[in-house]
Structures are given as structure tokens and as C-alpha cells.
Structure 1
Amino acid sequence: MTEGRLDRKRRLRRRRRLVFFSILVLMAGAGLYFAFGIGGSEKPQALDEEERIASPTTIADTTSPEPTAPSPSPEPPITPLYFSGTGTWTYAQPVNNAVVGDAGTLLQYDVAVENGLELDAAEFGAFVNETLADPRSWTAGGAWRFEQVPQGAGADFTVYLASPEQRAYLCGSQNTTVSCRNGDNVVINSARWIAGVEHWDGTLESYRQYAVNHEVGHRLGHGHEVCPSEGELSPVMAQQTYQLAGCVGNAWPYPDGTSYVSGPAGDYNGPDLPPDDFVDQ
């Protein structure tokens, strides 16, 4: 065999080896491509159910409660105005110069409201005048007439609207929970005037009418009475601020304008009454 033919055979074998190895390399690259996605973009695979549940969501949780602003702190309780006053007085001018009542002894009275309570003297004076002028009040019996006069006119008695402290001073008693009468001082306790009492079965206005009639009744010489029988109208001179004792609350001495409602004489002896308090309510 000549040298030339030998070289051609060697070159042919060499080319075949290169082709063979090239095919091997191509086959290996194709296997990697399909097995691992090397050399191309992989199509996203769907999560299976378990992974889907375990994967955190990027959507806001709409079931979570909205953040709320903190509740404001409760305001401290306000001390009621009726617990204190200045100990000085504003006198009400008479509503009119009329004498109320058709017959009987004339008593003149003036009206004073303690300063610092923020209660109007003119309004209180008008209320007292209207109460005493009512045909169900003390004029109905024909024994008394009343006239409101200004300060310094020589009144027979003064109707005070006073703080509990001044009530104790005017009445010479340590009891600050109720109204009272001491001599010519007819004293309405501002605490009761503003708040009444819980067991009262009427309106606050009717309780105020009762307080005025009860204390003026003492000035007229009437003592305490008690409930005559359960379910009946209470005598106005019963201590209804303490209890109704089964009676129906009543603000008037003559509820029908003619007949006086009375009961047995007696005082309330319950736990609300201090032992040294001889006077009222």
C-alpha cells in the first residue's frame, strides 16, 4: 500500500472519530436539557394541593379585624354643685304683690338662695309662690294667707334653698341629707331639690312641691304624721323623703282642694335618721 493511500485512510478514521464524539456530546446535551432544563426556559409547574396549602399567600387577609383607636379614658366624675356653696345669699324679688288665700292669718315670707349653687333665686321664688298659691296648698283650709315680700321687709319666715352644709347650720342639726324647719327658717336642701329621692313615685316637680308644703307646714305648727294605711295617699306631713311606707306619694295638704289628708302622729325612726336630729323631713 502506498504512502498516500495510507494517509487517506488515517484521515477518514480520524473524521469518523470526530463525528462519533460530536454525536455523543450532542446526545449528552439533549439529555441534560430535558432532564434539568439546562440551556432553556422551564415552563412553571403547578403546585400540588399540599404545597398550595403550605405556601404563604400574598393576598391581604380581609378577615383580620381593622385596627381600632384606643378608647378614651373616662372623664373623672364631676362633683355636684349642690354639695357646696358660699354661705352668702341672693334674695328673690316678689313675683307680685298679691296676697294668696281668701281667709285666715296673713304670714309674710321672703325667699333666699345660697350663692355658688348655680340655682336661680327668681326661679325658686316663683316656684315657692306658685306652690303656696295653689288651691291644694295650706290656704285651702281657710286658716292661712301668704304674701311674698322682699328682703328686709320684716318677713314672718324665710324660705331658704341651701347647700347641705348651710342646711345643717340653719337648722342646728348634723343631718345634711334632708330639708328642715328651725324657728322661722324654712330650709330646702339643695341636694334634694336637684335630685329628689329614688323611691318617690311622682315627678321631681311634685317632690319639690311636697318639700315646700311639708316644711311650711312645720312653720304653721303641724307635726309629723305617718302613713295611715297601705295604698292610701300619704299625709303631706309624713316624712316622705325617708320612705312612703306603703302610701302613695303626695305633695299637698288638701289634694282635692277641700279635704285635709291626715294620718296618725308619729316620726320616722329608720336607720337614715341620726339620733341627734329632732327636726324634719
Structure 2
Amino acid sequence: MLFAVLLLMAGAGAYFALGAAVTEKPQALNEDEQVAPTIVAPSPDDPTLSAPQTQATPPLYYSGTGTWTYANPADASVAGTAGTLLKYDVAVENGLGLDADGFSEFVRATLADSRSWTAGGAWRLQQVGQGGGADFTVYLASPEQRAILCGSTNTTVSCRNGDSVVINSARWITGVGHWDGTLETYRQYAVNHEVGHRLGHGHEVCPADGETSPVMAQQTYQLGGCVGNAWPYPDGRTYISGPAGDYNGPELPPDDFVDR
């Protein structure tokens, strides 16, 4: 009898020990619980790496605050010796992480260059501060604000609307892939092209393969067989022109600036 009782107690102990082991298994997740995936770094030889990648969130420069910092010009001298004097100021959208003084100096140096618009003798240009009686403003704006300032839905290129000369921050940061010069020369092109519109110049197209592109050609879309050019007067004397006309190819994709 005593032996039977001891045997029964031993069996019960084994049962409870087994039960404890079983209850340690993971419990089923509720529908709103998430399990973090295991992330494995891809091999550098993975052919899928060359495929277009989808960016989940827009880059920093897509959306600023919609407010502006106006630069105080470090040099208020007049560029050019003849022609009508136009004054301009420079504003950079806040929230883009881009320096207003640095952009201002680049714009001033570009427009004061002997290859820029003053070379033709029709214009003199002077940078002033906010409230200095500017005839036009050069903005460095997010794609979002670019669309607002220019009254269009396009967010991929720079533009000019009335007295607003708008440089798209996406293009400023990344340029375009087909440009055959440096990012600096692309930026000079963008400034000269949009200011050219403010001075009354319309679009031109590449005159022939291998020729120097007119600065008023829409080189952000394509070079059209021409050599990229940032200046209206590349030699300081002769205006490079082409037939009047607009680019008639496809628009840049709306998210083109994401991956450049």
C-alpha cells in the first residue's frame, strides 16, 4: 500500500514538471501585436540592388516651413557699367538646412560675373537686403513652395513668376543626371536661366548637335545634343542664342529629385 502511494506521488510530480515545461512555450500573438522582422544585410552582388528603390519618406528638402530668411548682402556694389539698374534680394526657405548667406553669395557672384547678364550692356544688377526696394526676389524654395510661388503643380524644376525667381531646392542639391558639367555650373545655369526670364528672355532650343547650349534652353530637361552651358555670354562678349522654342518632351517624374 505504501509502495503504491509513493508511486502515485512520483507520477504526479513528473506530471507537474512536464506541465511547467509546456507552459513556457510562446503564446499566440493578438492581432495588434507585431514581431520585429530579422534584417539581413544584402550582399553587394545582389542584382536587386540596381533596381529602383522606393523611398518611404520625402527627403528633408522636399518640405520646408514656408517662412523665409532674407540675406543681408555682404557686397552691395552694382554689377555692370551700363543699362537699366535692377535691384534684387535673396530669400531662403527655413527648414531646409540650407544657409541663406551662402546661397546669397553664390547668387551675387553669379550675377556679377562678366559672363552673366550685365555683359550685354542692357542691365546693371545690385543685391539689396529685405526692404531695400528690390525689383525681384531670388528664392531658394522647397519643391512644395516652388509650386505655390509659381502657381503650378510642378515640383521638379525651378521657375520664374512675375518678380519671383524661384530656385528649386531639390535641383539645387542634386542637379540633374544628364548635366555634363559640375554641380556648381548647373547651379550657375539655374540662376542665370531664371533671372533671364525676369529680364524678358523666353525659352530657346539647342541650335545644332555639338554646339554650346543657349542658357535659355531648358537644360534641366535635356541638353538636346548641345554642350551644357551656364552663361548667356560665355566669352564675356557674345550672346549664345538658339531658335525660340520650348522643350516638348516628358516632364521629370514628380519624385525625380529623390534618387539623384
TM-score normalised by L of structure 1:
0.70
Partner Cα separation in structure 1 for residue 57 and residue 147 of structure 2: 23
Partner Cα separation in structure 1 for residue 163 and residue 252 of structure 2: 23
Q: Which segments of 5 or more consecutive residues in structure 1 lack a partner in the other structure?
A: 1-69, 275-281
One of 160, 179, 182 as aligned partner of 2:158:
179
2:88 matches 1:109 = yes
Instruction: Give the total of aligned pairs.
Output: 204
**Match for 1:153: what amino acid?**
G
Report the structure number with the largest CA radius of gyration. Answer: 1
Q: Please name the residue that 1:268 is paired with.
A: 247
Partner Cα separation in structure 2 for residue 73 and residue 83 of structure 1: 28
Deviation at 1:96, TM superposition (A): 1.3
Compute the RMSD of aligned alpha carbons: 1.8
Preserved CA contact (<8 Å) 2:178 2:222: yes
2:177 matches 1:212 = no
Partner Cα separation in structure 2 for residue 260 and residue 133 of structure 1: 16
1:209-248 → structure 2 map (5 Å cutoff): 209-248=188-227
Partner Cα separation in structure 2 for residue 95 and residue 179 of structure 1: 25
Partner Cα separation in structure 2 for residue 266 and residue 115 of structure 1: 35
One of 230, 251, 259 as aligned partner of 1:251:
230
Preserved CA contact (<8 Å) 1:138 1:254: yes
Q: Please name the residue that 1:147 is paired with.
A: 126
2:25 matches 1:80 = no
Preserved CA contact (<8 Å) 2:69 2:94: yes
2:142 matches 1:163 = yes
**Match for 2:97: what amino acid?**
E
Partner Cα separation in structure 2 for residue 176 and residue 77 of structure 1: 18
1:31-70 → structure 2 map (5 Å cutoff): none
Q: Out of 91-100 and 125-134, give the one that drifted further.
A: 91-100
2:174 matches 1:195 = yes
One of 99, 116, 121 as aligned partner of 1:120:
99
Summarize deviations over 1:125-153 as a string: whole Å, max 9, x none. 00000000000000100111111100011
Question: What SS class does the counterpart of residue 188 from structure 1 fall into?
Answer: strand
Partner Cα separation in structure 1 for residue 56 and residue 153 of structure 2: 26
Question: What SS class does the counterpart of residue 227 from structure 1 fall into?
Answer: coil
